Amino acid sequence: MLKILKYSLFDLVRSNWSIAYLTFYLLVSSSILYMNGDLTKSIISMMNVILLLIPLVATVFGAIYMYNSREFSELLLSHPIKRKSIFLGQYFGLAISLSLSFIIGVGLPFIFRGIFGSPQLSNFLVLIGVGLILSFIFSLLSFFVALRFENRIKGFGLSLFIWLFMSIIYDGLLLLILIWFESYPTEKLAIALTLINPIDLGRVLIMLFLDTSALMGYTGAVFYKFFGAWQGILISLSSLLVWLILPLYLLLKYTKRKDF
């Protein structure tokens, strides 16, 4: 697995996609820091960027990589190598390459701005942590979809729909549900709906850690009201980890019985 991971990682790090991804984050984070001048505001602005962009790039890039490497995967499968080793190596190579581009692109401008000597260091590390988790989650989802559907159009379509639903459609549906059931207590429903969306969980986690009540939104306020700051943070983080572990388990289970 480590050999396949190393090969996949080196191949992806040198790709134009990874370089463009890194360069984009360098430009965006540098521009935000230059315009805001305040680290707290810059972290909040970067949160809005990564919650939208990381799931999109991980979804698209994951599907592209998996479909382009299908012949290589079939070649590996013809050798006496465990399926788990093949697909875990490819998946972690993909997720780590995206994570490295994100860390370097966002981290360098903040380091030059003196984030390590700032009281906002812990908030910045939470931002980086949420970005990493979302990179791994959505890379895994697109990886699974690409394995499930051999037709590229169906695979790309479903991958993009997953991103579109969780980042845009979900908020509209949540608002409609809360309006329809405004006569009833909706706090527990809002918590349950938040747990099924890793993007919203990431936003709630960052907002609870920043303790910025004005920006929490309804779901963040409900988490804070029911659980408090630290318990809400632990529940959000645990739910994100479940979003990572459960699909990974399902992926390994599916690859064992799939006929390639």
State pLDDT tens for residues 59-95.
Answer: 988 888 888 887 777 787 777 778 888 888 888 988 9
DSSP annotation string for 78-124: TSS--HHHHHHHHHHHHHHHHHHHHHHHHHHHHHHTTGGGSTTHHHH
CA distance 32 to 67: 35
Mean pLDDT (whole number) for 145-172: 85
Instruction: Give the position of tokens 């399926």.
Output: 83
Say if CB 198 and CB 243 are below 8 A apart.
yes
Whole-number average pLDDT of the chain: 82
Can you give the residue ranges of every domain in the chain? 2-257
pLDDT digits (tens, 9 = 90+) for 31-45: 888 887 778 788 888
What confidence score (pLDDT) does residue 132 get?
Answer: 92
Positive or negative, the Cα torsion across 1, 159, 45, 222? negative
184-211, pLDDT tens digit by residue?
A: 766 777 777 778 888 888 888 887 777 6
Nearest to 206 by CA among 47, 90, 18: 47
pLDDT band of residue 217 (cuts 50, 70, 90) is low
pTM recorded for the entire structure: 0.88
Nearest to 9 by CA among 105, 94, 99, 112: 94
Rounded to 10 degrees, what is the CA torsion of 132, 119, 207, 244?
A: 20
The answer to whether residue 218 scores a pLDDT higher than 80 is no
Nearest CA-CA partner of 55 in 128, 123, 142: 142
Please tell me the least confidently modeled range out of 52-61, 117-126, 251-260: 251-260
Q: Within its chain, how far is the Cα of 243 from the centroid?
A: 10
Instruction: Kindly tell me if the per-residue pLDDT of 46 is higher than 70.
Output: yes
Please give the residue that has the higher pLDDT: either 159 or 76: 159
- The pLDDT of 216-226, averaged and rounded, is 64
Give backbone dihedrals phi and psi of 150, rounded to 5 degrees, phi first.
-75, -25
CA–CA distance, 222 with 188 (Å, rounded to integer): 8
Distance in angstroms (rounded) separating the CA atoms of residues 260 and 255: 9
Residue 214 has pLDDT above 50, yes or no: no
Which of 18-22, 146-150, 154-158, 179-183 is predicted least confidently?
A: 179-183
Give the model's confidence band at 151: pLDDT under 50 very low, under 70 low, under 90 confident, else very high: confident
Mean pLDDT along residues 127-133: 91
Under DSSP, the state recorded for 259 is: -
